[in-house]
């Protein structure tokens, strides 16, 4: 059982990072193998929108760029569960996470069978993430959980619809600001740990 944690925060040892570590620690306690990537540390070039360079060929590689996505995409395809986590910035997830999602298009393989710009343009062949389990996580400054509604909708759009994964858990911690504030949220962190353990135990 392989669990992959993707941190979309610019702050190491920040609240999002701690949440991901706690979730993965729970998974390890149930026997899972885990790997964490701090996306801000990786070289992820900006998507150039040339979808023909990645979606119309087999394999998980962009034709335009050789960067850290060459490592990350195959690891995502081989993982059993992926945690996507971000702090709330401007009502949604960070630009770091958005850039990453844009560069995940090589996970798709399609062929053009119809008119471009229509829903019938492509025939689906393969998607390396289809059916995999996913967890989405947010931390935020605001106390009101509804502040992250748009962010979770964006996660739903990309994780569940675009990349066809099954979201099995949503982690959400509110009212955290400075680095390490989440450590004061002991009950929330216990739930995050328990979630990782439960999902790893479920196989």
CATH of the domain at 60: 3.40.50.360
Distance CA 110, CA 57 (A): 8
pLDDT at 50: 81
Question: Reading across the β-sheet that carries 81-87, which strands appear in turn?
Answer: 33-38, 2-7, 81-87, 133-139, 166-173
Which pLDDT does position 117 carry in this prediction? 85
What's the CA gap between 199 and 203, in Å, rounded?
7
Which pLDDT does position 49 carry in this prediction? 85
Is 128 within 8 Å of 41 (Cβ atoms)? Answer: no
Q: pLDDT digits over 136-163, tens only? A: 999 999 999 999 999 999 999 999 999 9
Q: How many domains does the chain have?
A: 1
Pick from 31, 4, 19: which is nearest to 203 by CA?
Answer: 31
For residue 111, give its domain range: 2-201
Dihedral of CA atoms 13, 148, 150, 130 in degrees, nearest 10, equals 60
Q: How far is CA 199 from the centre of its chain?
A: 16
Q: What is the 3-state secondary structure (H, E, C) of the chain?
A: CEEEEEECCCCCCCHHHHHHHHHHHHHHHCCCEEEEEEHHHCCCCCCCCCHHHCCCCCCCCCCCCCCCHHHHHHHHHHCCEEEEEEECECCECCHHHHHHHHCCHHHEEEEECCCCCCCCCEEEEEECCCCCEEEEEEECCCCCHHHHHHHHHHHHHHHHHHCCCEEEEEEEECCCCCCCHHHHCHHHHHHHHHHHHHHHHCC
Residue 64 backbone dihedrals phi, psi, to 5 degrees? -85, -40
- The per-residue pLDDT string of the chain (203 residues; one tens digit each, 9 = 90 and over) reads 999 999 999 999 999 999 999 999 999 999 999 999 999 999 999 999 887 778 877 888 888 899 999 999 999 999 999 999 999 999 999 999 999 999 999 998 888 899 988 878 888 898 999 999 999 999 999 999 999 999 999 999 999 999 999 999 999 999 999 999 999 999 999 999 999 999 999 97
Picking from 126, 193, 131, the residue whose alpha carbon sits closest to that of residue 168 is 131
């Amino acid at each position: 059982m392989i669990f992959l944690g993707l941190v979309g925060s610019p702050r190491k040892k920040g609240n999002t990072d701690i949440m991901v570590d706690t979730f993965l620690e729970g998974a390890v306690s149930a026997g899972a193998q885990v790997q964490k990537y701090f996306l801000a540390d990786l070289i992820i070039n900006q998507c150039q929108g040339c979808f023909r360079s990645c979606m119309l060929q087999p394999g998980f590689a962009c034709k335009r760029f050789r960067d850290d996505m060459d490592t990350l995409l195959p690891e995502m395809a081989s993982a059993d569960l992926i945690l996507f986590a971000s702090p709330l910035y401007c009502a949604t997830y960070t630009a770091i996470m958005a850039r990453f999602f844009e560069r995940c298009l090589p996970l798709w393989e399609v062929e053009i069978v119809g008119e471009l710009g229509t829903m019938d343009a492509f025939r689906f062949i393969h998607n390396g993430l289809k059916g995999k389990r996913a967890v989405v996580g947010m931390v935020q400054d605001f106390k009101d959980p509804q502040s992250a509604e748009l962010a979770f909708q964006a996660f739903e759009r990309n994780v569940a619809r675009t990349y066809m994964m099954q979201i099995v858990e949503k982690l959400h911690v509110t009212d955290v600001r400075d680095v390490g504030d989440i450590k004061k949220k002991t009950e929330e962190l216990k739930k995050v740990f328990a979630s990782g353990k439960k999902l790893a135990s479920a196989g």
